[in-house]
Each structure stands twice: as C-alpha cells, then as structure tokens.
Amino acid sequence: MLANDTQSVYTDVQSMTQLRTQARNDPQATLEQVAKHFESLYMNMMLKSMRAASFGDPNFDSNNSAMYQDMYDSQIALQLSEQRGLGLAEMLVKQLQKGMPETNKEINNDNVSFNANIQYANIAVKSKKTDDPIKFNSKEEFVNTLMPYAEQAAEQLDVSPQILIAQAALETGWGQHMQRLPNGKSSYNLFNIKAGSAWSGAELNVKALEYKDGVAEKTQSSFRVYGSLQESFDDYVQFIKSNPRYQDALAVSNDPEAYARELQKAGYATDPSYAEKINNIFQRDIVSAPYSEYLHDA
C-alpha cells in the first residue's frame, strides 16, 4: 500500500494527477484512495443538501460567506473521508476489487484511463454554486453581476447583451422578486420561463401575474428552476433558438428594441406593454446609466 497519497486539502488538484500515475503502476493500492475521494464527494453533496434545507441567517448571508461556507464544507468532507467516514469507501473497495486483475501484468498501461476520478472531479465542479444565495443590492450590482453571462448568451443569439439585462430586470424587478423555493433558495429563473411539457427539470408552482384581454389577474403557473445564473442564461438561449415562433425576433437581433417588440408579438409574455417596458429599462436604466463600465458598449 502506498504511504499517503490522498489529499489533505480539497484544493490540491495535483493529487489527481498522482493518483492517475499510481493507477497505472499499482491499481490495487490506488483503489482505496479513489474510493475515499468518491466518499468525500458524496459527503460534500450531503452537506450541501443540509445547507439548502436551512433558511440560514439573512443578517449574515452574502456571496462571500456562501463561498467560504462551500470551502469549509469541502474540507470537512475530505477530512471525514480520510478517517472512518461513512464506511462507503470500504464497501466500494470490496466491490471493485472483485473485478480487478490480480497482477499488473494483466493491464495494458498504455490504455489505462483514470476516467472514474476525472468524472467525479467534473461532477464536483458542476455542482458548485458560487453565486448561491444570490442577492442584488442595487441596479448597478444587478447589471455588473449579470453582464458576463449576458455577453456569452448575446453572442450565441447575435443580440445586444444590454437588452437581455433589461428583459431580466423587468422579469425579476432587478433581481428583487426572483422566484424562490420553499426553503428560500433562488430559482435562478431570470426570464420567468414556464416549465411546460418539454421541460424535464425541477419546477416551481406559484401564482403569477398574467394578462387576459388586457386585464391583469393572478393565475397558478409552473416555472423552471435552475441551479445557477449560468444555467438560466443557457436555457434562455436554447429556448429562443429552438422555438420557431421567435425566429422573427432573431431576424432583427441587430436592433435591440425591435428584438423586444418581436418577442412580445411572438407571445413571450401576455403583458400588452411588455416590449415598451423592456425598452424603457434599456434606454433609461442601462444605455444612459452612468454606473457601469459595461453599459456604454451598446
């Protein structure tokens, strides 16, 4: 058995490379270390679930505190897995050893790939929510936080990122009225896209304002739930590009205000003043705003 090749700090990514090398030379000895990495990831997910089930303390919640809390949970999970842990690592070792060759001669080292460890690392990256819980204390903070995501989405749609920010601002009241789950966590649904039959992800059923024959009324509707701001923008891009009724909007993508008008014509929202409201925000609060370095690139 190798002396001690496991991580002592969860950010030590070099240990992944070391484990891969060890797997080629001595897969039996490395199996226990890989199992501990997996158990560490599993316990980290458990800690995240427990955090999500708590309302937290609104007096101390912030993006920075969430980041440090994530770091603390990851380190705790790693330390627990290095000791007795939950016993999951031991069970994995016993199960996986049954299908392993007895000697290294049975393995072609040139073809060995450490896919399991890489896969677990990718899962850990994808599950990390660096912007949860999300809060916006001003219009400036809303714009500056969303702009990097909006720029990526705008490039795929060939539209102005500022008009996407304006639409998100209208839909969420500048982030102050973003739909939240019963546990207080954000749905990250910046564009209030409804679930619908084509949606297979998580959803949230709430009362929302709809217009029927020009009259506003609250109706029960199901909306999509995302795990991050990035997921929200990614799904918005897919939603617009894959839906034939929004092709007229994409055809005028070089004109931000025309894009908003075509979205309304296509039935994106029932509010008869939807496009007008977006364009007012676009002109008054974004294009003419003095508070952000991003805004004058429109």
Which residue's structure tokens are 């939240």? 180
Q: Specify which residues 204 forms β-bridges with.
A: 223
CB atoms inside a 10 Å sphere around CB 264 = 19
* Distance (Å, whole) CA 226 – CA 233: 10
Largest CA distance in the chain: 77
Selected catalytic residue, list 90, 151, 210, 271: 210
Selected catalytic residue, list 73, 132, 171, 235: 235
CB 164 within 8 A of CB 153: yes
Q: Does the annotation mark 210 as catalytic?
A: yes
Q: What spatial distance separates the first Cα and last Cα of the chain, rounded to whole Å?
A: 61
SS (H, E, C) the chain: CCCCCCCCCCCCCHHHHHHHHHHHHCHHHHHHHHHHHHHHHHHHHHHHHHHHCCCCCCCCCCHHHHHHHHHHHHHHHHHHHHCCCCCHHHHHHHHHHCCCCCCHHHCCHHHCCCHHHHHHHHHHHHHCCCCCCCCCCCHHHHHHHHHHHHHHHHHHHCCCHHHHHHHHHHHHCCCCCCCECCCCCECCCCCCCECCCCCCCCEEEEEEEEEECCEEEEEEEEEECCCCHHHHHHHHHHHHHHCHHHHHHHHCCCCHHHHHHHHHHCCCCCCCCHHHHHHHHHHHHHHCCCCCCCHHHC
Q: Which residues are catalytic?
A: 210, 235
